């Protein structure tokens, strides 16, 4: 029998009392502090509606060892704990456990185990939000303090172990990605032994949609956010027609076009257009690169704009302080090596095989990370399950 089992058998064999959060803690909302007043060199972290601190401030309005819950925004309901003095923003609830019969870390683990209930219970009108009442009305078990302390000890150790394993797997995942990028960049590095041309010299002009001539037809619309940055694939397109087409829905794409998001928030969002989006529409926020097959293969374009050298070029040539972007003209002015078609294909085949291998490894690591997290949540929830005294 474990120490926890012995404590439960001795101190609460018939179950435990449940209380509302408002009966064991004070729930309060923080105060807005403007981003301009925050400083990365200041001492106190600022928490608001996200999953981590948004900056640092030279003042604090909450002392250490508190539980926080995001009140508004996409992450409303996210539960965290803070071990230092901090500034609580106006989208951050602080749960200050004042009941002498409650361990604040036990309260944190319980609320964290119910985080999904809070996230799923977001009020969706306008900006997603979780109300103070939703937090206060949560029921929490109140086992004897020695039982709470032992559960906290077990979960702290398990949390640390899980974090270490996740960090190792994440580091391996990052290393694999860097290895692939290094190998890709090396294969695409050429000197004066091959011809060099600008992208503009290697591509064909894409057509624009004439909505007045296509009043009846529906199209799939590839918006800036449709392209996933992690796997360079298209997700979540919308169906549009002449009556509801956004103002930026103008460019016709065909199979094997390469599209590149040229505004700052979308940089590194690029993909090779698959067959299912042949003759569909993309946003003017994409630069459309249609390979001239007499000179260049579509995947040669794709792989060359995925390189570190191209990203550095974009960073150097983007314009605009508040919303940086690179023009189509600048993108098409980028020079790439142009070996013979058969040599392009040989290198593409190598990169395809290596990419498939890396993706398989990355997927395996991601699955392992997810499994570790689920294992942790399973044991945490078992430890926090108590019979209620009838």
Same-domain pairing of 297 and 318 = yes
Same-domain pairing of 106 and 202 = no
Same-domain pairing of 195 and 321 = yes
pLDDT of residue 368: 87
Q: Which of the listed residues 297, 322, 338 is the one where a domain comes to its end?
A: 338
Same-domain pairing of 200 and 328 = yes
pTM over 0.95: no
The 3-state DSSP class for residue 350 equals: helix
Same-domain pairing of 243 and 196 = yes
Query: What is d(CA 252, CA 281) in angstroms, rounded to the nearest whole number?
Result: 5
Q: What is the pLDDT of residues 291-312, one digit of tens each?
A: 999 999 999 999 999 999 999 9
DSSP states along 228-282:
-TTT--B---EEE-TTT--TTEEEEE-TT-EEEE-BGGGTT-EEEPPGGGTTEEE
Q: What is the pLDDT of residues 182-195, one digit of tens each?
A: 999 999 999 888 99
- 226 touches 234 (CB < 8 A): yes
Give the count of domains, the chain.
3
Same-domain pairing of 220 and 314 = yes
Mean pLDDT of 265-277: 83
pLDDT of residue 1: 53
Same-domain pairing of 99 and 168 = no
Query: What is d(CA 35, CA 57) in angstroms, rounded to the nearest whole number?
Result: 9
Give Cα separations from 337 to 260, 268, 329, 390 (angstroms).
19, 20, 19, 77
Query: What is d(CA 204, CA 202) in angstroms, rounded to the nearest whole number?
Result: 7
Same-domain pairing of 366 and 303 = no
Q: In what order do the strands lie in the sheet with 25-29?
A: 25-29, 92-97, 66-70, 79-82
Residue 32 pLDDT > 70, yes or no?
A: yes
Same-domain pairing of 32 and 56 = yes
- CATH value at residue 332: 3.90.220.20
pLDDT of residue 125: 72
Q: What percentage of the chain has pLDDT greater than the value 70? A: 98
Query: What is d(CA 223, CA 350) in angstroms, rounded to the nearest whole number?
Result: 31
Same-domain pairing of 110 and 23 = yes
Token pair, residue 313, equals 């070029």
Same-domain pairing of 324 and 366 = no
Q: Which of the listed residues 310, 338, 366 is the one where a domain comes to its end?
A: 338
**What are the backbone angles phi and psi of residue 312, rounded to the nearest 5°?**
-65, -40
Give me the helices (H) in the chain, please: 3-11, 21-24, 104-113, 115-120, 132-136, 145-187, 199-202, 298-305, 308-317, 328-332, 341-383
Domain residues for the domain of 205 are 191-338
Query: What is d(CA 264, CA 326) in angstroms, rounded to the nearest whole number?
Result: 8
Query: What is d(CA 46, CA 58) in angstroms, rounded to the nearest whole number?
Result: 10
Quick one: pLDDT band at residue 320, thresholds 50, 70, 90?
A: confident
Same-domain pairing of 252 and 200 = yes
Q: Which of the listed residues 338, 353, 375 is the one where a domain comes to its end?
A: 338
Place of tokens 């057509």: 207
């Amino acid at each position: 029998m474990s120490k926890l089992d012995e404590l439960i058998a001795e101190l609460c064999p018939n179950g435990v009392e449940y209380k509302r959060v408002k009966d064991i803690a004070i729930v309060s909302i923080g105060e807005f502090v403007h981003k301009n007043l925050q400083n990365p060199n200041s001492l106190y972290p600022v928490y608001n509606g996200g999953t981590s601190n948004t900056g640092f401030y030279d003042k604090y309005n909450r002392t250490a060892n508190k539980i926080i819950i995001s009140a508004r925004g996409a992450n409303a309901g996210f539960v965290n704990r803070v071990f230092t003095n901090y500034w609580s923003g106006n989208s951050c609830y602080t749960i200050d456990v004042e009941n002498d019969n409650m361990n604040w870390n036990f309260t944190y683990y319980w609320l964290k185990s119910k985080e999904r209930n809070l996230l799923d219970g977001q009020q969706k009108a306008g900006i997603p939000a979780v109300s103070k009442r939703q937090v206060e009305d949560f029921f929490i078990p109140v086992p004897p303090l020695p039982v709470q302390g032992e559960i906290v000890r077990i979960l702290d150790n398990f949390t640390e172990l899980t974090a270490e394993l996740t960090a190792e797997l994440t580091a391996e995942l990052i290393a694999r990605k860097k290895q692939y990028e290094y190998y890709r960049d090396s294969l695409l590095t050429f000197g004066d032994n091959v011809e060099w041309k600008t992208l503009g010299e290697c591509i064909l002009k894409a057509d624009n949609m004439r909505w007045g001539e296509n009043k009846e037809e529906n199209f799939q619309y590839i918006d800036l956010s449709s392209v996933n940055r992690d796997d360079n694939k298209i997700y979540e397109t919308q169906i549009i027609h002449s009556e509801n087409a956004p103002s930026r829905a103008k460019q016709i794409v065909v199979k094997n076009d390469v599209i590149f998001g040229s505004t700052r928030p979308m940089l590194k969002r690029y993909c090779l257009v698959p067959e299912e989006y042949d003759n569909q529409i993309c946003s003017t926020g994409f630069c459309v690169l249609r390979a001239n097959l007499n000179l260049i293969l579509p995947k040669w374009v794709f792989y060359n704009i995925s390189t570190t050298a191209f990203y550095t070029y974009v960073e150097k040539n983007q314009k605009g302080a508040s919303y940086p972007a690179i023009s189509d003209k600048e993108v098409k002015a980028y020079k790439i090596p142009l070996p013979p078609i058969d040599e392009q294909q040989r290198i593409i085949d190598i990169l395809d095989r290596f990419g498939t291998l890396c993706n398989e490894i990355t997927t395996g690591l991601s699955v392992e990370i997810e499994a570790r997290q689920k294992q942790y949540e399973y044991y945490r929830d078992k430890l926090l399950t108590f019979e209620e005294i009838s």
